């Protein structure tokens, strides 16, 4: 599979695996099958966050990827975490998945590149202060859960507005890089907040945001970020009827230095997306 260098020394497969559904909408066995198949297909970029899987996804992914760390690019985020109430859902999640699986989808099966949705405000997730101390604490928790000494990419997770104390955060990120705990520093955001966070873009090495050929902001993103290092999610949202492989191929052609995240849990979807990302 082709790769791109998002940050100096970090070579990611152009197709990334979005881990948000793991231990949320997707159970352990299905997740493990998908992770294993993605690895077999050449996927090396795995995207996760403290909040994913109601706080359980990092630990699960860390256990599964143990022993292959040097082959992989692992990206995580800070800024949103699961609350204590999320733990109450643990025994109920298998039942919820079973009930959902028994329902017939109204609009056909999920898209092969269906992507994660990030929790904003709900009883099971909360935003943490965007301070150096909170960032350090979140990172240490991620490293422990993921069974690693470092993250390849560490993202600030979807701030809702202008980022306060940004100078302090950038300084703390540089310290973490010097310590070898983080290799690259980025901002993950929803394009709806673009105007509020855009003044901070130059302070980050990588941007991660929703992008699709059918989105209203695609041309704007293309003009500003064509050759820049990006990580995209929600590639099929509003894609105008284009087949998934055509969407991916167009985006990689338009943004040659970018990774596209897909939350893909069916082997046939992983295979098809990997083929689109081939040499």
| pLDDT by residue, tens only, the chain of 279 residues | 999 999 999 999 999 999 999 998 899 999 999 999 999 999 999 999 999 998 999 999 999 999 999 999 999 999 998 876 777 667 666 555 554 554 444 333 333 333 344 445 578 888 999 999 999 999 999 999 999 999 999 999 999 888 989 999 999 999 999 999 999 999 999 999 999 999 999 999 999 999 999 899 999 999 999 999 999 999 988 776 788 889 999 999 999 999 999 989 999 999 999 999 986
CATH code of residue 174? 3.20.20.100
**Predicted TM-score (pTM) of this structure:** 0.89
The DSSP symbol for 26 reads B
Total residues found in the chain within this entry:
279
Distances (CA, A) of 60 to 66, 79, 169, 192: 10, 20, 28, 31
Determine whether 14 is exposed, middle or buried from the number of CB atoms within 10 Å of its CB (0-12, 13-18, 19+).
buried
Strand-pair category, 258-262 with 15-18: parallel
How many structural domains does the chain have?
A: 1
Find the domain containing 58 and state its range. 3-276
Asked if 235 and 247 count as a contact pair (C-beta separation under 8 A), the reply is yes
């Amino acid at each position: 599979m082709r790769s791109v260098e998002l940050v100096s020394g970090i070579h990611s497969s152009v197709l990334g695996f979005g881990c948000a559904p793991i231990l949320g909408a997707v159970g352990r066995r299905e997740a493990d099958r998908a992770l294993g198949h993605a690895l077999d297909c050449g996927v090396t970029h795995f995207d996760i966050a403290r909040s994913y899987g109601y706080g359980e996804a990092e630990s699960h992914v860390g256990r599964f990827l143990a022993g292959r760390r040097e082959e992989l690019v692992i990206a995580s985020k800070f800024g949103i975490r699961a609350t204590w109430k999320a733990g109450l859902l643990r025994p109920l999640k298998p039942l919820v998945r079973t009930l959902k699986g028994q329902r017939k989808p109204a609009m056909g099966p999920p898209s092969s590149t269906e992507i994660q949705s990030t929790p904003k405000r709900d009883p099971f997730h909360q935003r943490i202060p965007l301070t150096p101390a909170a960032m350090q604490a979140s990172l240490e928790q991620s490293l422990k859960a993921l069974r690693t000494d470092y993250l390849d990419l560490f993202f600030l997770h979807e701030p809702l507005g202008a980022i306060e104390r940004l100078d302090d955060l950038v300084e703390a990120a540089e310290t973490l890089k010097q310590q070898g705990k983080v290799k690259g520093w980025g901002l993950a955001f929803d394009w709806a907040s673009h105007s509020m966070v855009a003044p901070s873009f130059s302070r980050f090495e990588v941007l991660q945001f929703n992008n699709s050929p059918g989105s209203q902001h695609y041309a704007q993103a293309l003009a500003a970020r064509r050759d820049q290092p990006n990580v995209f999610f929600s590639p099929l949202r509003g894609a105008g009827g284009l087949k998934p492989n055509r969407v991916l191929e167009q985006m990689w052609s338009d943004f040659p230095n970018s990774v596209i995240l897909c939350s893909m849990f069916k082997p046939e979807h992983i295979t098809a997306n990997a083929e689109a990302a081939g040499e």
